[in-house]
Amino acid sequence: MKKLTREDLLGLEQYAAQRAAFRERMMAHKRLRRVALGDHASLHFEDRLTIQYQVQEMLRIERIFAPDEVQAELDSYNPLIPDGTNLKATLMLEYADPRQRREALAALVGIEHRIWLRVAGHPPVQAIADEDLPRSDQRKTSAVHFLRFELEPAMAVSLRRGALLAMGCDHPAYRLRTGALPAAIGAALAGDLETSIQATPACKLPEPY
């Protein structure tokens, strides 16, 4: 999947004028890219459009317009765009009560390495977590982690043909599995994979948004 460049971004004034429509489009897009893992964890699968939205929001909030500063934001966020052989996701751990949150983050050290997904008919794929820097220590984990799921070619072919996905976590303090996810989620995520596998028959994918 092509990385973003400065030419792909809207200027601050242009983005301000289009932000409401862009946000509405993004919310619809993200509904097929979010997977709840129980009550307190969720995976938000990133792609080029979700990352563009995040970059545009950062530029708006920080009032960034200098070319070198814009490029620095792109350099930070572009690694979250899938590379064609993988799916990339932000793992979020959410607890409304501050005390419960502190206790949970202490109990869930290492959870980012215990998240998995499975394409029907294939072995599970364990997440590769936080490749830029560690976000857990011996005392607690972070509420946000960045994950990569590297798929074998046969898995990618199966997913594009409509095989169902399941996901889960095998951390001792947070064990669960989703069961088969809606086919629409699998179809949306299959769109993150390179077109090099399109030589084989594949299901028709919906428009991204």
Can you give the CATH number for the domain in which 88 is found?
2.60.40
**Going by DSSP bridges, is the β-strand pair 86-93/144-150 parallel, antiparallel, or unpaired?**
antiparallel
- Identify the band that residue 154 occupies on the pLDDT scale cut at 50, 70 and 90: very high
Q: Are residues 3 and 70 in the same domain?
A: yes
Number of separate domains in the chain: 2
Confidence of residue 195 (pLDDT cuts 50, 70, 90): low
Q: Residue 67 domain-assigned?
A: yes
Looking at the structure, tell me whether residues 5 and 63 fall in a common domain.
yes
* Tens of pLDDT, residues 96-133: 999 999 999 999 999 999 999 999 999 999 999 999 88
pLDDT tens track for 163-194: 999 999 999 999 999 999 999 999 999 999 98
Coil, strand, or helix at residue 39?
A: coil
Q: Is residue 156 domain-shared with residue 185, that is, in the same domain?
A: yes
Position 196 scores a pLDDT of 52
Range of the domain at 95: 37-46+83-204
Residue 7 lies in a domain: yes
**How many residues in total does the chain contain?**
209
Answer whether residue 209 is part of any domain: no
Is 126:113 a contact under the CB 8 Å cutoff?
yes
Same domain as 26, residue 41: no
Query: Which phi and psi angles does 6 have, rounded to 5°?
Result: -60, -30
